Amino acid sequence: MPGMKQAGLRVYQWFEDRLGLGKPIIDAAEHDVPASTASWWYVFGSAATVLLVLQIVTGVLLGLVYSPSAGQAWSSLEFLDHTIRLGWFLRAMHGWGSDFMIAIVLIHLAQVFLFGAYKFPRELTWIVGVFLLLLTLGMAFTGQVLRFDQDAYWGLGIGASILSRVPWIGGSLVNLMLGGPIIAGPTLTRFFALHVFIIPGLLVALVGLHLWMVLRLGINEWPMPGRIVSKATYARDYQKLTKETGIAFVPDAAWKDAIFAAAILLAVMACAFYFGPFGPTGQPDPTIIQTAPKPDFAFLWIFAVLAYLPPSLETPVLFIAPVLIVGAMLLLPLVSSQGEKHWSRRPVAVLMVAVIAVTLGILTHLGTYTPWSPIMDAWTADPIPTVYLQDRTPLERQGALLLQDKQCRNCHSVGGKGGLRGPALDGVANRMTEDQIIRQVLQGGGNMPAYGNALNPSETTALVRFLTTLRPENQPAAFDASRKMVTSERPPAAPTGAH
Amino acid sequence: MNPNESNPQPISQDDQSSEQPMKTEASRAKHTPHSRRAFLFKLSLLANGAVGAVLAVPIFGYLLGPALRKKSSDESWVGLGRVSGFPEGETRLATFRNPVTTAWDGQTGDVPCWVRHTSGATFQVFAINCAHLGCPVRWFSESKLFLCPCHGGAYYEDGARASGPPERGLFEYEHRIVGDALEISAGKMPTLAARVSTPQALIEIAGVGAKNGAAGVSKPEAQNLKPRCGSCQG
């Protein structure tokens, strides 16, 4: 065995004499870092890098089979899923790896923000990191396009529709994005080039730069309240700290990175194994319109924002907000490059992270069940609770049929089933008088279309009569107080009220 | 900004590289700014800059090619089928093969649209794409509404905006009737930047669609049909 070792060392030395890379790499790996940074809080950057490597490896492997042609991409994914041995698993790993990568990158971002790591002298490291985040999201979007299914097709339509709103050059931008007049073959190939060549190239180059700066400037020390960053003294203080408490990055600190990276890889594999690959959903045939397109998880919050913005604000917000957000992130380290690093002395920073996280979380949650969207098959699929039909007159039951037939259920739920776009109708007679219901149905308003053209008078009567029966037991029907004053009569009991 | 500020002292120790002893007198002489070699190097930079600029023309020309296309060049008349295929008073889904496609477009080259036959020769042809963000709207004949699955945009039967996030009604294709066939002027994905209907279509390719039998309609004839169509669009 000693002979083997000797031989191995000789081979290494032969290469080292010619390459000269071994020593600088070993030196870089063994460089001293402040002992406080050997923390489980410092593992996210390396985990993101490991996930990038996983994505590159799985991506290249998928590239062996994937066909970037609009006519065949979808079938090649089906082929990967069902015919190629373990193709489904590679697709699942690539998909879950992407979700994990976005999550880890966001956690890394929040961590370095809360630890003040963007302050002097690491401003540029942060700025490069912002671009890495954007590129990661770019990979997620273009990757979703390469999964050339219905969601991808209509997602491209959403992208093109957003771009078309850019003043003056919108039309040219749409053409540039689609590569032609419609979403088709040239669209997929340019997203393929983006996803496979351009963005990964930039990503790898910028990760290299990011890492180089981490090595050159040293990892951010664990912040302490009251330890103020000042450009005049920081470098000296950091060197002193490293000298006094320094430990070798490899192996003293890096073992935590390695364990975490292994855990993340295992988690990706577990998710891939249990949940399988993402889609593809239906084939990218635009003539199949029975679809409810939805973006991937990372973009659900944008989908929700687009549903809730008032129409007049939409275009300005779409183009001004991203500029402001990215601009603020890029300027942050330049504006606040000195001062306190510790989170306990930066309440605004903590509040910002909390508010942004909660906001994104809520919007994403809303995006998972899209309460703003009509449920297209609710009118044929969802039943009316039998209790709402018991002891009802034929006219009222006719109204219940009309409620179904006129697709009211697509937007209004009854008995907990149906669309969430409009208010639930279970207690409508408790909120609105018969006259108000008639007016609302015929004229619409408040985000409801007018049904005056879709209902004839007898249908309106039946529908409204049924609606006036919908109120919780022991709760009075809504009544018009002014009418009561005029007629000085009791308000009509809801189920039997005269028209 | 003070240069000392922007160039922080490197923190890693081994930054003092071994280049220091190399900077001898001789090496400094090599880098004097006015030597012939320095001039030639600058000249070579200039030459490369010029070549680079020339090279940039085809590269950017290629890249921006799709953006520089003329707006009208993608539009032409496409057949949707016989008029009799669209019963009066009904709104039906029709599909057509986009006039501009590539051989590898597959199904994506097929484009759907909604055809509303109001009465007689009066038609409306709506784009499938919601005016909000381009998702496919669905027609509900009972409530006489187009509904969008993405963000809940709703339109009345005549394409006017009913509710939801869209700021305008559905996009409408310009159409005409050639003999027995309904044709629309199509070719581009309808967006806010590229309204589907163009006032005058420049390219007249009658009988493009394989589905209609009205081949060989000459240009004057097509022009004769236009006013008829224009009046029915109202």
pLDDT one-digit tens code per residue, A220-254? 999 999 999 999 999 999 999 999 999 999 999 99
Domain that holds residue A396: 378-496
Are the Cβ atoms of B191 and A235 closer than 8 angstroms?
no
* Domain shared by A21 and A56, yes or no: no
- Buried-state track A180-214, b at ≥16 Cβ within 10 A, e below 16: bbbbbbbbbbbbbebbbeebbebbeeebeebbebb
Return the pLDDT at B30: 55
Residue A280, preceding peptide bond in cis (omega within 30° of 0): yes
* Domain shared by A410 and A467, yes or no: yes
Q: Which residues in chain A are closer than 8 Å to B94, comparing Cβ atoms?
A: none
Question: Which residue of A169, A289, A302, A459 to mutate against B (max B Cβ within 10 Å)?
Answer: A289
Note whether B5 contacts A: Cβ–Cβ < 8 A: yes
Q: Which residues in chain B are closer than 8 Å to A444, comparing Cβ atoms?
A: 162-163
Are the Cβ atoms of B193 and A171 closer than 8 angstroms?
yes
Question: Which residue of B133, B141, B158, B192 to mutate against A (max A Cβ within 10 Å)?
Answer: B133
Segment A134-151, tens digit of pLDDT = 999 999 999 999 999 999
Give the ipTM: 0.88
Alpha helix stretches (DSSP H) within A66-198:
73-82, 87-114, 123-146, 150-163, 170-178, 185-193
Q: Is the pLDDT of residue A391 over 50?
A: yes
Return the pLDDT at A164: 93
Which residues sit opposite A239 in a β-bridge?
none
Residue A298's Cβ-side half-sphere holds a number of Cα atoms within 13 Å equal to 23
Q: What is the mean pLDDT of residues A422-439?
A: 92
Total count of domains within chain A: 3
pTM summary value: 0.86
* Domain shared by A424 and A330, yes or no: no
* Domain shared by A59 and A201, yes or no: yes
Note whether B154 contacts A: Cβ–Cβ < 8 A: yes
Q: End of a domain among A369, A396, A428?
A: A369
Domain CATH number, residue A338: 1.20.810.10
Q: How many residues does chain B have?
A: 234
The one-letter amino acid at A152: A
From the CB of residue A318, how many other CB atoms can be counted at a distance below 10 Å?
A: 17
The span from the CA of A467 to the CA of A451, in Å, is: 15
Place of tokens 């409204």: A464
| Contact map slice: B 155-174 vs A, CB within 8 A | 156-157, 162-167
* Domain shared by A201 and A52, yes or no: yes
* Domain shared by A263 and A407, yes or no: no
Are the Cβ atoms of B156 and A453 closer than 8 angstroms?
yes
Return the pLDDT at A214: 95
Please say whether the beta carbons of A426 and A361 come within 8 A.
Answer: no
* Domain shared by A60 and A108, yes or no: yes
Are the Cβ atoms of B67 and A293 closer than 8 angstroms?
no
For residue A242, give how far its alpha carbon lies from the nearest alpha carbon of chain B (Å). Answer: 10
* Domain shared by A74 and A194, yes or no: yes
Return the pLDDT at B193: 84
Return the pLDDT at B11: 47
Q: Is the pLDDT of residue A30 over 70?
A: yes
A72, A166, A291 ranked by CB distance to B149: nearest = A291
The one-letter amino acid at A399: G
Place of tokens 């009220």: A497
The span from the CA of A477 to the CA of A428, in Å, is: 9
From the CB of residue B232, how many other CB atoms can be counted at a distance below 10 Å?
A: 17
Are the Cβ atoms of B143 and A157 closer than 8 angstroms?
no
Compute the radius of gyration of chain B from its Cα atoms: 31
Higher pLDDT, B198 or A320: A320
Place of tokens 């996280």: A357
Closest C-alpha to B68, from A180, A167, A159 = A180
CA terminus-to-terminus distance, chain A: 102
* Domain shared by A269 and A193, yes or no: yes
Per-domain boundaries in chain B: 32-68, 71-129+171-233
Domain CATH number, residue A428: 1.10.760.10
